[in-house]
């Protein structure tokens, strides 16, 4: 049985609760640092790192979306949040939907960016390759693959040629120890049956240049969550790196509009 360690969690700001759920191979720092100040300006932001990310040690066995959902709720409990809006990114969207399905009395809203309900064949093949490269310890090849699949074409091509090497080195140096474990949670996750039961205000944000998790997944979420709002952002899979101000504006405006 997998033991999920207590998640290393930062708590900032005061006000209505926001609970953050990051992506596979990411962290709170890597996925949310550009928008944290704006989120904490009027909210209590509870930001846990999954096993193998940030200061959280790896789990003792396979990770699942359900286990991660329980772990982030435990982080909210520890921080004293009774109710909260979930802000999920990539794998974090699957985690957020599962939390909303399992704890509907506690969830006030959802923001789902670059998300999915279950992996398709393209994403399965991508994550299989992730795991092969990580198992071989080839972080330089992994960094190149991430640069090609996660960043938008415009963004990656705009990196000056003499800075491409350092850019790839930065990606390689920042790969969390739990990346393969977290990718495995995506591969086994499926929240499709939960979508129709979501009844809280929901914003789905689709990065239109995303070749890692196709924007078709975001459209599916928006189409199957009753009343969901849908927005697009012209980036690859990492809007926090490519257009952080635009991403922040979409999130904050949604929270303000619904009093969340």
- The residue among 115, 131, 142 whose CA lies nearest residue 204 is 115
In this prediction, residues 3-10 reach a mean pLDDT of 91
Rounded Cα–Cα distance for residues 28 and 172 (Å):
17
**pLDDT-derived band at 65, boundaries 50, 70, 90:** very high
Q: What is the pLDDT of residue 1?
A: 57
Q: Does residue 146 fall inside a structural domain?
A: no
Q: What is the pLDDT of residue 224?
A: 98
Beta carbons within 8 Å of 193's beta carbon, 6+ residues apart: none
- Which DSSP symbol is given to 103? -
Q: Which domain, by its residues, includes 197?
A: 9-121+177-257
Rounded to the nearest angstrom, the gap between the alpha carbon of residue 60 and the centroid of all alpha carbons in its chain is 22
Mean pLDDT across the chain: 96
Q: What is the pLDDT of residue 40?
A: 98
Q: Contact at 8 Å (CB) between 167 and 147?
A: yes
Residue 116 has pLDDT above 90, yes or no: yes
Q: How many domains does one find in the chain? A: 1
Q: Exactly one of 22, 43, 217, 237 is catalytic; which is it?
A: 237
- pTM comes to 0.96
**pLDDT-derived band at 2, boundaries 50, 70, 90:** low
Q: What is the pLDDT of residue 109?
A: 98
Q: What is the pLDDT of residue 259?
A: 96
Phi, psi (degrees; rounded to nearest 5) at 27: -165, 170
In this prediction, residues 210-217 reach a mean pLDDT of 96
Q: Exactly one of 10, 90, 96, 113 is catalytic; which is it?
A: 90
Q: Does residue 169 fall inside a structural domain?
A: no
Q: Does residue 245 fall inside a structural domain?
A: yes
Residue 80 has pLDDT above 90, yes or no: yes
Residue 246 has pLDDT above 80, yes or no: yes
Q: Does residue 152 fall inside a structural domain?
A: no
Q: Does residue 235 fall inside a structural domain?
A: yes
Domain containing residue 66: CATH number: 3.40.50.1820
Rounded to the nearest angstrom, the gap between the alpha carbon of residue 196 and the centroid of all alpha carbons in its chain is 21
Phi, psi (degrees; rounded to nearest 5) at 18: -125, 130
Bridge partners of 189, per DSSP, are: none
Strands 44-48 and 9-12: antiparallel
Q: At which residue do the structure tokens 């509907």 appear? A: 104
Phi, psi (degrees; rounded to nearest 5) at 237: -70, -10
Q: Exactly one of 27, 96, 210, 218 is catalytic; which is it?
A: 210
Q: What is the pLDDT of residue 3?
A: 74
In this prediction, residues 159-185 reach a mean pLDDT of 96
Beta carbons within 8 Å of 81's beta carbon, 6+ residues apart: 17, 19, 44, 46
- The residue among 195, 59, 51, 54 whose CA lies nearest residue 116 is 195
Q: Does residue 114 fall inside a structural domain?
A: yes
Percent of the chain residues past pLDDT 90, beyond the cut: 97
Percent of the chain residues past pLDDT 70, beyond the cut: 99
**pLDDT-derived band at 4, boundaries 50, 70, 90:** confident
**Would you call 210 a catalytic residue per the annotation?**
yes
In this prediction, residues 227-254 reach a mean pLDDT of 98
């Amino acid at each position: 049985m997998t033991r999920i360690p207590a998640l290393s969690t930062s708590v900032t700001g005061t006000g209505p609760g926001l609970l953050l759920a990051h992506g596979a191979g990411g962290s709170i720092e890597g996925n949310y640092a550009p928008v944290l100040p704006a989120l904490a300006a009027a909210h209590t932001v509870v930001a846990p790192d999954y096993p193998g990310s940030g200061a959280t040690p790896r789990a003792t066995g396979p990770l699942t979306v359900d286990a991660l959902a329980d772990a982030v709720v435990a982080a909210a409990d520890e921080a004293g949040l009774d109710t909260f809006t979930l802000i999920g990114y990539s794998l974090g969207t699957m985690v957020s939907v599962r939390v909303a399905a399992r704890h509907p009395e506690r969830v006030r809203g959802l923001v789902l960016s670059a998300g999915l309900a279950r992996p398709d064949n393209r994403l399965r093949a991508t994550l299989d390759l992730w795991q092969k490269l990580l198992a071989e310890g080839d972080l330089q090849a992994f960094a190149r693959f991430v640069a090609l699949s996660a960043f938008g074409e415009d963004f990656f091509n705009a990196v000056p040629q003499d800075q491409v090497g350092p850019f790839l080195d930065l990606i390689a140096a920042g790969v969390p120890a739990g990346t393969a474990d977290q990718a495995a949670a995506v591969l086994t996750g499926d929240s499709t049956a939960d979508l129709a039961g979501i009844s809280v205000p929901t914003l789905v944000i689709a990065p239109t240049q995303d070749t890692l998790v196709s924007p078709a997944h975001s459209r599916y979420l928006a189409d199957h969550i009753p009343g969901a709002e849908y927005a697009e952002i012209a980036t690859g899979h990492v809007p926090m790196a490519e257009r952080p101000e635009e991403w922040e504006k979409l999130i904050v405006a949604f929270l303000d509009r619904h009093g969340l």
